[in-house]
Amino acid sequence: MQEFLFKYVEESDSFCAVSYQGDAAEVVIPQTHWGRPVTILFDDLFKGHAEVRSVAIPDTVT
């Protein structure tokens, strides 16, 4: 399962992935959320998730 919590960033009309709630070893960050790009990953996004072995990050993340 892969589930993220997002926070809207008004200045850039985009979303920041702030929390990962899944249990997958291979994680794919989505390019969009509610039709807006995901451009930021929170520093502690995977804190406490030792099961994560790889993360695919889309080009939208800067």
pLDDT, tens digit, for every residue of 16-61? 999 999 999 999 999 999 999 999 999 999 999 999 999 999 999 9
Query: Can you read off the two tokens belonging to residue 16?
Result: 């920041």
pLDDT at 1 over 80: no
Return the DSSP state at 25: S
Residue type, 16: C
Nearest in space to 37 (alpha carbons), one of 5, 14, 57: 14
The conformational region for residue 4 under phi > 0 = left, psi -120 to 50 = alpha, else beta, is beta
